[in-house]
Amino acid sequence: MNALLPEVDREAPRGLAAQIAGFYARAIADGRMRTGERLPPIRTVAEACDVTRATVLEAYRQLAVDGLVEGTVGRGTTVLGAPVSQADADKARLLSPYADAALRRSQEMPGAPPLPKGVPLVTNFAELTPDGQRFPVDAWRAAMDAVLQRSGAQLLGYGQATNGLPELRALLAASAHDIDPGLHADQVLVTAGAQQALDLVLRTFCKPGDTVVVMQPSYHQMHGLLRAHGLQVVQVPVDEDGLALDQLAHALRRRTVRLVYLMPTFHNPTGRTLDLAQRRALLDVVAGTAVPIVEDEYQTSLRFRGEPLPTLRSLDPRGLTVTVSTMSKGLFPALRIGWITGSEDLLRPMAAVKRFMDLETSPLLQAALVEFVQARGLDHYLDALRVELRERHATLQQCCAELLPPDCSITDPDGGFLAWLELPQAGQGDRLAELAVARGVRVVPGRVFDLHGQPSRGVRLSLSRADSRQIRAGITVLAEGAQSLMPQQGALRPLV
């Protein structure tokens, strides 16, 4: 695609920088430049307009001040969106930067293409939410009844434990023995789900203007949270060989980097897991820094194959890694219980921040969870869920091997709900999502998981709402769509 370049009038009363800024502002407003696209490099515009780079830099700065673009180190200047009306601008001035950014990102948040009207749903590979038909409603009701009968008056009032009920923290620490040996209750902070845990981590370690390193691709809700906090982002690619450690090392040399956000186990969106050697190599890279790591272990309880791997926290001799976990995927989302594990020195300020956010996570729900766990309800539920996930993933792999064009590839995770289907060329994953939904199969296009919405080769497949029959039907549609996008074929490339 040819770069969209302005022309300037040196005799016009308006300055050159203002003319360049006005040109791109109009291009954004009329749709010639869309959200996520990059402005041409400063050098290219300077040469095209025969002006200094400083002039173009000032034009881009004006666009950034107006909220139309955002400069990112290593990625250039990216379009944020079209300008708002004067009425909307007046409303925006009432909002804090956090609220304004959160609102804008929520409105722009990409997702799976919606099912066209009149097209019946064949397979839902899009939703990463547990199947409500499997929830242990009766067992959970029994747990709630038991704690209400025993301690209802106390549990329905204000509690006194911002960090969480001691009994629950002890259970959570014990449950992590295989992946974080030596963890104890004082190193656990209970939160209102993993999303609050991530927000607490950002509020504790970062201030507006700081830089956070993330995987590429990565959890798209985290992108919105980072932007709401006014943080800059550096993406580091991850593939079957692990994180690109040379790029991570380069990013860590930036003085503004304050945090590294990782999903080392059953990564969203690819389902990949960093093996032990990759984890140790990663920690070798950060060893000489004081940059904290937050590892998002949101699906670690859903391993159905292989041995558990130690958390980065347990391997970090610096004591600067915290682990975020949740019950939302392993049990059910409405519980809204997550937790952070870390050194007491790191959890203490997080607990103080949490106290001014919500005082505490619901004592009633925490107590019911303790009852549910002690009655072996969680063990029984997870055992059955892991069996089902093993069968669904096996069906997925078999169908992909039989039906996908040879140049396609599919990850084969050892747990969790996700797998990543990849085609050879950038943009083909996004196009496949459009072709599939027209035939009743919903997937999430890979561009959703890129900070800037760049064209992707892949699509994310979630098996949380698809049984074996639906998986086969869905892969049949995806395989036919992929075939139409790939006239040339090679050898099948299974991914790990």
pLDDT at 494: 43
- Ranking 227-231, 239-243, 390-394 by mean pLDDT, the lowest is 227-231
Alpha carbons 27 and 83: distance in angstroms, whole number: 11
The β-bridge partners of 460 are: 420, 444
The β-bridge partners of 189 are: 340
Query: Is the pLDDT score of 488 beyond 70?
Result: no
Predicted confidence band at 487 (pLDDT cuts at 50, 70, 90)? low
Alpha carbons 71 and 155: distance in angstroms, whole number: 49
Spell out where 91-209 has E strands.
Answer: 123-124, 188-191
Contacts of 485 (CB under 8 A, 6+ apart): 423, 428, 431, 432, 435
328-359 pLDDT tens trace? 999 999 999 999 999 999 999 999 999 999 99
Q: Give the count of alpha carbons within 13 A of 358, CB side only.
A: 15
The mean pLDDT value for 293-312 works out to 97
Query: Is the pLDDT score of 113 beyond 80?
Result: yes
Q: Which of 371, 374, 340, 342 is nearest to 152 (CA)?
A: 371
- Ranking 202-216, 228-242, 307-321, 454-468 by mean pLDDT, the lowest is 228-242
Contact in structure between 404 and 482 (CB atoms under 8 Å): yes
Which domains are assigned to the chain?
16-83 (1.10.10.10), 123-133+381-485 (3.90.1150.10), 137-377 (3.40.640.10)
- Ranking 78-92, 325-339, 432-446, 449-463 by mean pLDDT, the lowest is 78-92
68-106 pLDDT tens trace? 998 876 778 988 865 555 565 555 567 787 887 777 777
pLDDT at 84: 52
pLDDT at 294: 98
Predicted confidence band at 10 (pLDDT cuts at 50, 70, 90)? confident
The mean pLDDT value for 237-242 works out to 92
pLDDT at 1: 41
pLDDT at 417: 97
Alpha carbons 344 and 320: distance in angstroms, whole number: 11
Tell how far CA 428 is from the center of its chain. 21
Q: What angle do CA 478, 484, 485 make, to 5 degrees?
A: 90
Alpha carbons 169 and 187: distance in angstroms, whole number: 8
The mean pLDDT value for 428-455 works out to 94
Predicted confidence band at 3 (pLDDT cuts at 50, 70, 90)? low
Alpha carbons 218 and 238: distance in angstroms, whole number: 9
Query: Is the pLDDT score of 489 beyond 50?
Result: no
Contacts of 225 (CB under 8 A, 6+ apart): 195, 198, 199, 202
pLDDT at 285: 97
Q: Which of 38, 10, 14 is nearest to 24 (CA)?
A: 38
Distances (CA, A) of 11 to 19, 46, 156, 321: 12, 18, 74, 58
The β-bridge partners of 260 are: 213, 293
pLDDT at 92: 53
